[in-house]
A and B are shown apart, each in its own frame.
Chain A
């Protein structure tokens, strides 16, 4: 019963490198989300996908791109990593009904030097 699976769990990058964070859910959820969480701050929405084939910007989209590959998978790409993108990244999914809660993956801890 995996729920939401994120890979990798940890990553260290150099400034200017690119990478893709992977997220997959096995709950047949329609909506998926990418958040970042910085110390002392709440979750900030980067991008979301309300359904397969759609993506929308959240509160802090600059420097990121996303792909909703299929209903299960939603990836987050950093094209040219910057130290300001050092953070913990969480993927979440939700059935798609506004009354349903979001379920989170374990997170990716990303450091950019």
Chain B
């Protein structure tokens, strides 16, 4: 069965530091990779998408993809308390293009 694995956390990071979230996936043919943020009691919200190897930056967020290692990460610079949430990694299933979801990493930013 195809899987996406994330450390469940919680990951505790001081305010202003860099938060690093990691995700590994089993489907070597996956082509699209997404990071979603989910606040407690709310729905998932897309924050980053990445499709090719390397880094993609958007404001304080950087997504990193390494297809050879089947690894995708999300860096959050200058972490703010408002970044405290669960971060979900999602990867497309190469056989049917559905998303395979990780269980999420809970991030806590300490003031």
Bound together: yes
Q: Residues of A at under 8 Å CB distance from B? A: 40-45, 48, 58, 90, 98-99, 101-107
Secondary structure at chain B's binding surface: helix, strand, loop or mixed? Answer: loop
Closest to A50 in B: B97
- The answer to whether B44 touches A98, judged by C-beta atoms less than 8 angstroms apart, is no
Closest beta carbon of chain B to A100's beta carbon, Å: 8
Q: Does B12 contact A (CB under 8 A)?
A: no
- The answer to whether A98 touches B103, judged by C-beta atoms less than 8 angstroms apart, is no
* 6 closest residue pairs by CB, A with B: A98-B97, A42-B101, A42-B103, A104-B43, A43-B101, A101-B46
Q: Does B22 contact A (CB under 8 A)?
A: no
Known contacts A98-B97, A101-B46, A104-B43; A41 and B103 CB within 8 A of each other: yes
Quick one: which of B8, B43, B51, B99 contacts A90, CB cutoff 8 A? B43
Closest beta carbon of chain B to A109's beta carbon, Å: 9
The residues in B between 88 and 111 inclusive whose CB is less than 8 angstroms from any CB of A are 88, 90, 92, 97-99, 101-104
- The answer to whether B97 touches A43, judged by C-beta atoms less than 8 angstroms apart, is no
